[in-house]
Copies of this chain bind each other. A is one copy, B any other.
Amino acid sequence: MSASVTSRALDLLGAFDTDHRALTLSALARRSSLPLATAHRLVGELHRWGALARLDSGEYVIGRRLWDLGLLAPVQAGLRQAASPFLHDLYGATLATVHLAVRDGTEVLYIDRLSGHDSVPVVSKIGSRLPMHATGVGKVLLAYGPEEVLTEVLGNLTRVTAYTITQPARLLDQIRRVRADGYATTGEEMSLGACSVAVPVRGADREVVAALGIVVPDLRRERARLVSALQVAAQGITRTLTSVEWK
């Protein structure tokens, strides 16, 4: 359990997150609980290798080489590649923010996103994680995911906006409806002024591998059109996934 030298370098990297993209040496040392001199040396090595880059300001940021490496991660690489054209189509047809997400533990992990200038501003980013119970894609993944996950999520419904569903019974009700209808919706449950629709994306064995969602300001009128556009796209993705072999 002791801190091996490698893990110290990793702890340093772990000091970076979405709210801390650029850190000074001393901030890095503080955040990773390492003596300054030690951090200095390790950061030097990481920098030399290209894992970290240094801004003019002297702050360190994640370097290009780690970016490269990150792109090699098979975080649903096949899925993303297969989905990409359909996401564009969907965006072209609706001009709304389009999301592709998978489940990561008890959260939703956004693995791709498109949004234009006119789209509703939303919190999600590629790589960000959001609670399942407050997002359209989340509800879909809950409805078609393992029962344990649903149980766990039901026990921890944190409020985000005034419209967030926090009563287990109500969420469960909605989840049942998702299973019946084949799609999920939200109304300002994650951020005000943003509603969403989402459908499941199935893989080669018909199991649900991801969720495809769209965010619009209002879906009272559009719902039917959006659902069918989403379903067409989801089917297209499935077709691509089953035809292309991904070793």
Which residues of A does B touch, CB under 8 Å?
4-10, 13-14, 16-18, 21-22, 42, 45-46, 48-49, 51, 53, 61-64, 66-75, 77, 84-85, 88-89, 91-92, 104, 114-117, 119, 125-127
Contacts and interface: CB of A to CB of B under 8 A. Distances in A.
Given A64-B75, A70-B70, 6 more contacts: A9-B9, A22-B74, A61-B72, A66-B70, A67-B75, A92-B92
A67 B17 CA distance: 12
19 contacts: A4-B45, A6-B6, A7-B45, A7-B48, A7-B49, A10-B45, A10-B46, A10-B51, A16-B69, A16-B72, A66-B66, A67-B71, A67-B75, A69-B70, A70-B73, A71-B127, A84-B114, A85-B115, A88-B116
A73 B89 contact: no
Contact of A62 (B51, B73, B126): B73
A117 B85 contact: yes
A31 B13 CA distance: 24
Contacts of A114: 84, 88
A115 B83 CA distance: 11
